[in-house]
Chain A
Amino acid sequence: MTNRDPAFLATALARAGNGPRPGELDSLVRQGWAGWVEEQLAPTDADPALAPRLSSLLLRIRHGGGDGWEPVDEMRPLAFLDRPIDTLWPLAAGKQKMDGAERRRPRDEVLAATLLRAVHSRWQLREVMAGFWHDHFNVDFMSSDTLAATLPAYDRDVIRAHALGNFRQFLEAVATSTAMLIYLSNRSSRAGAANENFARELFELHTLGRDAYLNDRYDRWRDVPGALAGQPQGYIDQDVYEAARALTGWTIEDGGGIDGKRHLSESGRFAYVESWHDGYQKRVLATEFQPFAAAMADGRQVLDLVAAHPATARHLTGKLCQRLVGSRSPQLVAAAAAEWTRSAAAPDQIARVVRLILLSPDFAASRGAKLRRPLAVAAGFARGAGIDLLPTEGLINAISGAGQRLFGWPTPTGLPDDDAQFLGAQALRQRWALVMGLAENWWGCGTPSIPSAATLGQAAYAWQDALVGGPDPLAAAAILAGQGWSPDQPLGKPDAPDTAKKTARLAALVAMAPAFHMV
């Protein structure tokens, strides 16, 4: 009866969301796990706890001034989250005189909004999935001011719009996005010597996956098993070269010259430039492309082929299992891949696969199998401890130090979904600092609500209820002994400064225990 077991539900919420808020477990016990999943898979626009916080948030901006602009140090509301790409583009293009901090402001607003959503959004599963897809379709928005300015459009129109939707549509949104066209340099790819950067990662990272890269075994496309029947088991370098040709001419309106006389406009939007496209015949995944196809037809056919390939179903569902379950049992991946393929045309293809995984016996049996990532540590602590979180630069730096540089992973792989990623000595030290800093409000993010408790021992138990799903006497004893505190020691009046200090320290120590991290 895991569906209503509070211990199961506590970790389930920490895996498919960022953990329970005070009182949330009780309502979840009444609703049942399946009911929660169903509700979360169909998010609506209503997000009553989040909306007022987004609209009233003031985020600091600070820079030293320069040639033609004044120094700034002020608190400003968010202004860029809803902006379309053509109004973000002037910041990306950087032709106006302004400080880099102004150009990067759209990215910093998305960062702040991401923290607010992680803590306050009612649609917790959507937040987890948005994080998953930002990793999967990684763009390093820290690498340049140009990319930084494009993040609101990528986050909103590409990642969040498709996070529970249809993968083929998602793929085209990525391939035509301003951010990806810049990041993997397809925007400058031209007939004659195509730029292979995007095409290679499209196969290896976005779709079929490296297990389907058979270059070490086959030199010719026709030798790949299944190729002569039109169903090659995997891909080789020749497929990458040909797909790169198919995607030539997919670019952005960045004002560049098309030929001697014509120029692209400067909107930052996607554009297809016929004269840059390599129109001759091609062969990708054993499928022949006719010469001189219609505009964008070659590239779209590549996206059709890679989206529908069985290796893509295995690769993507394997990654989803890894993220949500913490492992990839062959049975679960096979079932999820079958659902993926069956739902290939469905507008909610990804939601169906996520449902199957979250309601699987593997998920129910996987308590304690996954290390929380740093953003989830921070958000989970803020939710459990009742902090009305205000996102600040100090908190973002602390999450980064613990191993998760949000929107700033340097390689196209995205942050690997592997616990080992966060087990470096310094990363662990910063993990402890993350909960202690939030508990003691080092970064101005807000303070925990003080639990009602008469003694230190009761306070420790109250925090364990809130943060790790129930009392753990051994851990409580270890924590109190480490501080030299007796469990019977009276806590003092709730408004006494010493009470706040001691309960904050106890909250941090409770959240340093293994049970808070392995969920």
Chain B
Amino acid sequence: MLKRRDLFRLSAAGLAYSGLSNLAFADGGSPGLLILLHLRGGCDGLNLISPGDDSDFIAARASELRVVGDGPDAGFPLGRGFLLHPAAPGLAELYKQGHLACIHAAGLADGTRSHFVAIDMIDRGIADNAALARTPTGWLARAGRGPAISAAATPGGELIGAASALALPSLAGGVVPAGGPPVQAALDRLYANAPGPFGAAVRESLSALAAIDHRLPRDPTGKVTLETKPAYAAAGELAGPLQTLAQLVKMEIGLASATLDLGGWDTHENQTGRFRGQVAKLSAGLAALWEDLSPWHDRMVVVAWSEFGRRLRSNKSGGTDHGRGGVAMVLGGKVAGGRIAGAWPTLAADRLDEGVDLAVANDIRAILAEALAAVDGRPPAPDVFPGFNAGPLLGLFRRS
């Protein structure tokens, strides 16, 4: 009968998943870890970080959809007149410590107000509808940043076409197929020559899952022992994925990229309470991850962004409709934080996009490119963001 170790060797041998099985996690001089957190649904950047004393803003928005500067629900001042939502004390602290930088009026250069078109373009690193058809792969896949993990049911769109991207929302209960080595052995045989993307996905998954399973912490009886940190609890649905990610980082499996999602931002109706809840989860989640991964700070960069911001004026449902410019954030030990980076187009009537939305003044690709350069130690290859010329740097990272 096969022993566990033999099985591991069998399934890893000759398969493409050398990345996860061989690499140790980067030490000081090696490439770092890029964590991409997509705030799915169109996060209202103007409600997350409000231009607090801007008279155009105050005139356009009811106070329930603004961060105010005083009173019991006052926001956190970020400088340049901006106020961070009061439900984000964790982010405020990271900002104050200089690890977090925020970019307002950030987004896609293309004017789409469709979630799905915007997400597809950002995933592919382009800003042109016509280029979608000729750009089948994700920007992170083209950047060659494997091995990558999506702490979700499917790999992030940035990873479409990546050779080694694994979707793994949870580690609880181990990760190899139920039924143990005999089932794994049967699957290895059944899929050895199975054609197409399905066959390839099964082979890669079996091999990578075995490699990860091999390193999972276990008690003497073989039961997987994952630590649960109470600090994550306030992150709601983001807690599980963040803890999966942190666990994989600590297992030193050579992870280079990770993608996660936090949805719930498509607030067409009754925005105030729902938005507050999501902001609190985002803030608590990033603060907990930062605390949990303290030895990795200088090697990790988190980028959080949304596909677009929302309409300056609210609708009559107490919500906001799809807009343009939103907020992006970068978090990391090398981030030049504690400031709002990038241009601010203002909310003056003649500066609004289509007369209704905060314009996009800071291209999402510029932000992603700087983050990528920071973890890779060199600028992205030209095909990562095809045809994009970033111009002057936003200066999101300290020069070391």
Contact = CB atoms under 8 A, between A and B. Distances in A.
Interface of A: 184-185, 188-197, 200, 204, 210, 213, 215-217, 237, 240, 371, 403, 410-411, 413, 419-421, 423-429, 432-433, 436-437, 475, 478-479, 481-484, 505, 508-509, 512-514, 517-518
Contacts of A192: 316
B189 interface: yes
A195 B354 CA distance: 18
Contacts, number: 172
B153 interface: yes
Given A185-B317, A436-B179, A482-B182, A425 B115 contact: no
Interface residues of B, number: 64
B153 A427 contact: yes
A280 B86 CA distance: 41
B129 A216 contact: yes
B186 A424 contact: no
B29 interface: no
Contact of A425 (B114, B160, B209, B313): B209
A425 B154 CA distance: 8
Contacts of A483: 182, 186
Given A189-B315, A433-B178, A425 B189 contact: no
A240 B114 CA distance: 11
Please list the 10 inter-chain residue pairs (A to B) with the smallest Cβ-Cβ separation, ordered nearest first. Answer: A424-B167, A482-B186, A478-B189, A188-B317, A423-B201, A425-B205, A197-B268, A190-B316, A185-B269, A482-B185
Interface of B: 1, 40-41, 110-117, 128-129, 150, 152-155, 160, 166-170, 175-179, 182-191, 194, 196-199, 201-202, 204-205, 208-209, 263, 266, 268-269, 313-319, 321-322, 354
A479 B190 contact: yes
A427 B204 CA distance: 13
Contacts of A403: 153-154
A429 B117 contact: no
**B-side binding surface: helix, strand, loop or mixed?**
loop
B186 A478 contact: yes
Contacts of A410: 263
Given A424-B153, A425-B167, A237 B113 contact: yes
A188 B269 contact: yes
Given A189-B317, A429-B209, A195 B268 contact: yes
A429 B187 contact: no
Contacts of A426: 153, 167-170, 175
A475 B154 contact: no
B190 A513 contact: yes
16 contacts: A193-B314, A195-B321, A200-B114, A210-B117, A213-B114, A215-B111, A216-B128, A421-B153, A423-B167, A423-B201, A424-B154, A427-B153, A427-B154, A428-B201, A428-B202, A429-B209
Contact of B315 (A193, A478, A517): A193
Given A196-B321, A424-B166, A427-B167, 16 more contacts: A188-B317, A195-B269, A196-B315, A197-B266, A197-B268, A197-B269, A216-B111, A216-B129, A424-B154, A424-B205, A433-B178, A478-B186, A479-B190, A482-B188, A509-B186, A518-B196
A514 B191 contact: yes
**A-side binding surface: helix, strand, loop or mixed?**
helix
Contacts of A196: 268, 315, 321-322
Given A195-B316, A484-B182, A429 B205 contact: yes
Contacts of B322: 196, 200
Given A213-B112, A216-B112, A428 B205 contact: yes
B129 A195 contact: no
A486 B322 CA distance: 63
A352 B354 CA distance: 43
Contacts of B209: 425, 429
A514 B194 contact: yes
A194 B315 contact: yes
A247 B16 CA distance: 53
A101 B183 CA distance: 37
A315 to B, nearest CB: 13
A147 B380 CA distance: 46
Contacts of B208: 425
B113 A514 contact: no
A333 to B, nearest CB: 16
Given A195-B319, A429-B205, A213 B354 contact: no
A428 B178 CA distance: 11
A314 to B, nearest CB: 15
Contacts of B169: 424, 426
Nearest to B1: A484
A231 to B, nearest CB: 21
A253 B293 CA distance: 51
Contacts of A437: 178
Contacts of B316: 188-195
B91 to A, nearest CB: 24
A411 B201 contact: no
B198 A517 contact: yes
A508 B354 CA distance: 58
A210 B184 CA distance: 42
B177 to A, nearest CB: 5
A419 B198 contact: yes
Contact of B116 (A194, A413, A478): A413
